[in-house]
Chain A
Amino acid sequence: MRTTVHKLFWIWQLPKEEAWINEMAEHGYGLVSAGKITFEFEDIESGQYKYKEMMLKGSFDSKNVRNFLKFMEEMGVDNVGHVSYPGHTIVYLRYDSSLENFDIYSDLDSKIEYEKIMVGYLLFAAIINLAAWILNMAIFIANCLRGYPSYISLVSTLSLVLTVIIFINISKRNSTISTLKAEREIHE
C-alpha cells in the first residue's frame, strides 16, 4: 500500500529530513518518491532499507549526476527520487540495510564540500532576509520622518530574527568545516 505524506524541510535541513525518512523506514514505510514537500512511501519490512540524501552539482539530467547515479547503481544503491534546485540536485538514495557500516561517503573532503554548499545556500537566504529587513526599516523610517503613523511590521521583525538564526547556523557550519579541516591535516 502506498502512503503520501506532505512535510516541509528547508534545504539546509537535509540531515533532519534524512533522519525522518530513515525513521519512517524503521516503522515499515519505504520511500519510493520525493518532491519538495511530498513524500510517497510503500510498505516494506521494518528497517529493510536505509536512505541517504545527497546534494550533487548540476541538474538531474547533467552528466555529473547521471554518471554518479549509474556508479551508485553498480554498487547496489538505488535512486528513488530527486528534487532540483538552481545548479544542484538533491538525490534520495536507498540501500539494503544488511550492508553493515555502509556509508556513501567516508572521506573528510566530501563532508567539507557538503558543508560548504550549505553555507552558500544559507548565505544567500541570509542576504535575502537582511535585504527584506533593511527595506522594511527604510519604509518605517521614511514614514516616521513624514509624520505618518508607523509601526515595525511583523514581517520586518521576522526577517531580522530569521537572519540572526541563519547567521548562527552559518557560524556553526563554519566551525564544523574548520574542525574537519584540522582533522584532515592529521588523518589524511
Chain B
Amino acid sequence: MPQQALTEAVFYIMLSLLKPLHGYGIIQNVGELSKGRVKLAPGTLYGALNTLTDKGWIDALPENPESRKKEYVITEAGKAVLSEEIGRLSELVENGRKFMEEN
C-alpha cells in the first residue's frame, strides 16, 4: 500500500533529523529550511516527535548528562519513508509543471 503523504511539518522535521538535533534545534532548522515560512510550535513538535518515535522513523539518542536536552535522529526506516515522499513530491511538481505548460 502506498504511504500516505507526510504533512509539511513532519517532512521538514524528518529532513532536519538527518543529523542529530534537539527540539529547539529542529525548530530553528525547519525555520531556516523553509526560509521562515514554516514556524513549528513546541507543542506540535512534541506530538510529532512522539508519533515518529512510535512509528520507528526516528530515534531518541541516549541522554547526554552534560546537556539536559534530548536529541533525536532519523532511522533507516525513516530515511526510506523520506525518500518515498520526495519521489511523490517530485511527481506532483513534474505533473504540475507539465500541465501548466500544456494548458
Which residues does A use to contact B, with CB under 8 Å? Answer: 54, 68, 71-72, 74-77, 101-107, 109-110, 188
User: A105 to B43, Cβ gap below 8 A?
Assistant: yes
Q: Given A68-B46, A71-B23, 7 more contacts at CB 8 Å?
A: A74-B68, A75-B42, A102-B41, A105-B44, A106-B39, A106-B41, A107-B9
Q: Is the interface of B mostly helix, strand, loop or mixed?
A: helix
Which of B23, B39, B43 makes the CB contact (< 8 A) with A110?
A: B43
- Report if B40 contacts A (CB, 8 A): yes
**Known: A74-B22, A74-B69, A188-B7. Is A54-B41 also a contact (CB below 8 A)?**
no
User: B43 to A54, Cβ gap below 8 A?
Assistant: yes
- Report if B47 contacts A (CB, 8 A): yes
Q: Is the interface of A mostly helix, strand, loop or mixed?
A: loop
Which residues does B use to contact A, with CB under 8 Å? Answer: 7-9, 22-24, 27, 39-44, 46-47, 68-70
Of B7, B27, B42, B44, most buried by chain A (CB within 10 Å of CB) is B42
**Known: A107-B9, A110-B47. Is A75-B39 also a contact (CB below 8 A)?**
no
User: B42 to A72, Cβ gap below 8 A?
Assistant: yes
Which of B7, B9, B42 makes the CB contact (< 8 A) with A71?
A: B42
Q: Which residues of the partner chain B approach A106 to less than 8 Å between Cβ atoms?
A: 9, 39-41, 43-44
Distance in Å: Cβ of B26 to nearest Cβ of chain A:
10
User: B41 to A71, Cβ gap below 8 A?
Assistant: no
Closest to B5 in A: A188
Distance in Å: Cβ of A92 to nearest Cβ of chain B:
14
Which of B8, B41, B70 makes the CB contact (< 8 A) with A105?
A: B41
Q: Which residues of the partner chain A approach B47 to less than 8 Å between Cβ atoms?
A: 107, 109-110
**Known: A74-B68, A74-B69. Is A104-B43 also a contact (CB below 8 A)?**
yes
Distance in Å: Cβ of A79 to nearest Cβ of chain B:
13
How long is the Cα–Cα vector from A103 to B41 in the complex, in angstroms? 6
**Known: A71-B23, A74-B22, A74-B69. Is A101-B39 also a contact (CB below 8 A)?**
yes
Q: Which residues of the partner chain B approach A110 to less than 8 Å between Cβ atoms?
A: 43-44, 47
